[in-house]
Amino acid sequence: MLARQLLRSKLISPSTLATSRLVTRSFTNGLIRLNEKKDKILTDDILAKAGFEEDINEKKSETETEESNGGEKRSRRRRNQTSKDKQREKAANWFYISTLVGTVSGLGYLSRDWDNEEEQKQLEASNIDNGYTPTLMYERMSRRLSSLFTFFSEPVFENLLPPPPPEAYRRPLTLVLTLDDLLIHSDWDTKNGWRTGKRPGLDYFLGYLSQYYEIVIFGSNSQVFSERAANKLDPLHAYVSYALFKEACRYKDGKLIKDLSLLNRDLSKTVIIDVNEDSYSLQPENAIPMKAWDGKPDDKLIQLIPFLEFLASQNFDDVRPVLNSFSNKENLVEEFQEREKKLRAEWESRNKHLLNQKYNAGNFLASLLGLPSSSFNKEPKMPLDIVREHGQLQYQHFQKYLKENAPKMLEEEQKLKDEFGKITLNKMITEGPPSAEEIARIQSERAANGN
């Protein structure tokens, strides 16, 4: 043993091996004890670290015991392991065992009886009873296990939007628009990097329809990435009522689903326009599908306006049957134009007497005063046109109002931001960010004091 150790450590050369062996044999017990001490000084560990694991002696012994059995080989292999290796292996084994035990006991815990009926209801498992039969245990376990993962795929908020506004402020319908590739489009090239563009007619689309619709932007990307773009579309917060993002979507089977039933709005008064059919797969009857906009100039948004205006101004009890009366919703615009043409022709044929009325009091008065006949006598109009004219007039008024008040509104917003945007980290951690209700309360208090 000593000889081997010495050899291993290259303290002596192989040529002196024979003599050292003789010496070992002739040593007394006490000296052997000394040898053991020596053993401890040059442990396998140190040798392994110094790179003496495979040395000449090993090779020698290999040739000596060429015809030895497998058992001896195994023992040699065990010798090759350093104490550190053994320790590590032991730790690894403990880790594996504890992982296994942890997994089994965790799964066992998940397969326990329902804590209460509420839990059962929440997991939609009213058909799975309490009791410890394998199938029931497995069912409970799988339900609970999947609920652990659905935590991340469910929308963050239970009600995506606050309750509808009071009657006086309510628009007839709610319009849910996706952001990317419907309203804006982002492109990347090596020269300019990312660039985002607004779709032609977007400002008019939002501005005009905001008088008929409560417009909700429901983006498919995270709030962090899209919020600024959404804010920029409507810096005065005059058109878009709310903006929701990916956090409000449900993620299921790789599909991002926008569940309109969580919107806190009447589904019969809600329209969603989206470029991805997965988004509205839960309520396809509420949807107007659109093709993704590729960034090239088009007028698809503007072309949609007449139909949306028609939909909002006709006071339908339920918009879904109207939407689904179109044979192919992809061609909704063309089909609606066709229908409108038909409607117009029918109205004209039915109201010929109005159109052909040349002699009436207005015309007579105008001719007396030498004015064009249209100044006293309004041309008869189809109801749809009247609605349109009214809408356009109102749009112009609203634009004028915005133009006059924009600086003031922006200034107020900035003031608000300055006041509530500053928050110490300490307060943020201990109390959390100020809630919107809090800010609203402070504001209303201040307004009351000011008046």
Partner 1 sequence: MSADHTRDPCPIVILNDFGGAFSMGVIGGCVWHGIKGFRNSPYGERGYGTISAIKSRAPVVGGNFGVWGGLFSTFDCSVKAIRRREDAWNAVIAGFFTGGALAIRGGWRHTRNSAITCACLLGVFEGVGMLVQRFTAQAPIAPAYPEDVKPLSA
SS3 240: strand
* C-alpha span between 439 and 322 (Å, rounded): 41
Contacts of partner 1 in 174-193 (CB under 8 A) = 180, 186, 188, 190, 193
Region at 237 (left for phi over 0; alpha for psi -120 to 50; beta for the rest): left
Shorter beta-carbon distance to partner 1: residue 171 or 269: 171
Is 398 a binding residue for partner 1 by CB under 8 A? The answer is: yes
Q: For the CB of residue 30, give the shortest distance to partner 1 in the complex, in Å.
A: 43
Distance of CA 22 to the CA centre of its chain: 80
Contacts of partner 1 in 423-442 (CB under 8 A) = 436-437, 440
Is 443 a binding residue for partner 1 by CB under 8 A? The answer is: yes
Q: CA of 255: how far to CAs of 119, 250, 267, 278, 414, in Å?
A: 26, 8, 22, 6, 38
Per the CB < 8 A criterion, the answer to whether 299 and 200 are in contact is yes
Q: For the CB of residue 142, give the shortest distance to partner 1 in the complex, in Å.
A: 20
Is 111 a binding residue for partner 1 by CB under 8 A? The answer is: no
Residue type, 401: Y
- Which span sits near partner 1 by CB under 8 A: 42-50, 63-71, 352-360, 397-405? 397-405
Is 396 a binding residue for partner 1 by CB under 8 A? The answer is: no
Contacts of partner 1 in 329-368 (CB under 8 A) = none
Contacts of partner 1 in 203-242 (CB under 8 A) = 210-212, 221-226, 237, 242
Per the CB < 8 A criterion, the answer to whether 161 and 264 are in contact is yes
Contacts of partner 1 in 32-71 (CB under 8 A) = none
Selected binder of partner 1 within 51, 70, 71, 163 (CB under 8 A): 163
Shorter beta-carbon distance to partner 1: residue 155 or 201: 155
Is 247 a binding residue for partner 1 by CB under 8 A? The answer is: yes
DSSP state of 269: G
Selected binder of partner 1 within 80, 99, 331, 444 (CB under 8 A): 444
Q: Read out DSSP for 174-224? A: EEEE--BTTTEEEEEETTTEEEEEEPTTHHHHHHHHTTTEEEEEE-SS-HH
Contacts of partner 1 in 5-34 (CB under 8 A) = none
User: How many Cβ atoms sit within 10 Å of the Cβ of residue 175?
Assistant: 24
Smallest CA-to-CA distance from 79 within 8, 19, 12 is with 8
Selected binder of partner 1 within 202, 215, 243, 323 (CB under 8 A): 243
Per the CB < 8 A criterion, the answer to whether 184 and 281 are in contact is no
Is 257 a binding residue for partner 1 by CB under 8 A? The answer is: no
Shorter beta-carbon distance to partner 1: residue 109 or 157: 157
Per the CB < 8 A criterion, the answer to whether 238 and 210 are in contact is yes
Is 166 a binding residue for partner 1 by CB under 8 A? The answer is: yes
* C-alpha span between 240 and 233 (Å, rounded): 9
Is 326 a binding residue for partner 1 by CB under 8 A? The answer is: no
Selected binder of partner 1 within 77, 133, 135, 169 (CB under 8 A): 169
For 112-136, letters b (16+ CB in 10 Å) and e give eebeeeeebeebebeebeeeeeeee
Q: Using CB under 8 A as the criterion, which residues of the chain lie in contact with partner 1 when the complex forms? A: 152, 156-157, 160-163, 165-166, 168-169, 171, 180, 186, 188, 190, 193-194, 196, 210-212, 221-226, 237, 242-245, 247, 251, 254, 394, 397-398, 401, 436-437, 440, 443-444
